[in-house]
Structure 1
């Protein structure tokens, strides 16, 4: 039924559970897996332009890529080869666009992640993805 599964990860406990669920389904369905991490665009205060900003962006990207590599190692430990994708922007929009562009048949995401204001935005990314997605979305609790 599902031949291409997209699993969104952000390092939260819920994304770990989403990874487990996605890998379980991938094994069961003999599906290809893509792991995606989307870094929100950050606003740099005036006066911090230049090298400092470049260092901040570089550090954030390296952290995201390390997260993806760690998740890929977990997938490989389960016998699943996973592709990784690092993106920047609105997480929900980027994830839905990637799923559509690469013809994923299922998106797996945690019910909440590491948002800045967790209490006010619980599940906002997963909810938005469920509204925008062209394919089924599995929201893991």
Structure 2
């Protein structure tokens, strides 16, 4: 049913729960898993150990911090998948709008399903712009599962 599943991961507990759900589905359907992380100031600060995103507000991270944080989140996702008996087939990490990047990856790989958490680290921005999962549901040409 689901040959390829794309998962959006931002390092939050909710996105990790979404990854676990995707791994469970992949086990049932023999799906490929594509992990997408789109570095944002909040996720860089979180991955680098900042408290409550304070670092992201006071200074913008440099490119090496962005890469280090992104690698940390991607590697954590791979470990979660491994602990559930799954392998991440491909990882994608580009700077940009998370919803747009996730949908782009899904279209490029021919995904049947996109899995995201309902609330990630971008909660302040979502109050103004709407959530990433809502935007994905609007843009995607495949099924979407938002994990609460």
**Does TM, normalized by the shorter one, top 0.5?**
yes
TM category (shorter chain) comes to 0.7 to 0.9
Equivalenced residues, count: 131
The CA deviation at 1:121 is 4.8
- When normalised by structure 1's length, the TM-score is 0.84
**Are 1:126 and 2:133 counterparts?**
yes
Partner of 1:84: 91
Q: CA RMSD in A?
A: 2.3
Structure number with larger C-alpha Rg = 1
Partner of 1:111: 118
- When normalised by structure 2's length, the TM-score is 0.80
The CA deviation at 1:120 is 1.6
Cα distance in 1, alignment partners of residues 25 and 130 from structure 2? 22
Gaps of 5+ in 1: 43-51
Can you list the C-alpha shifts for 1:11-68, whole angstroms capped at 9, x where unaligned? Answer: 11110110111000000111010111012489xxxxxxxxx97x71210121011111
Partner of 1:20: 20
Gaps of 5+ in 2: 43-58
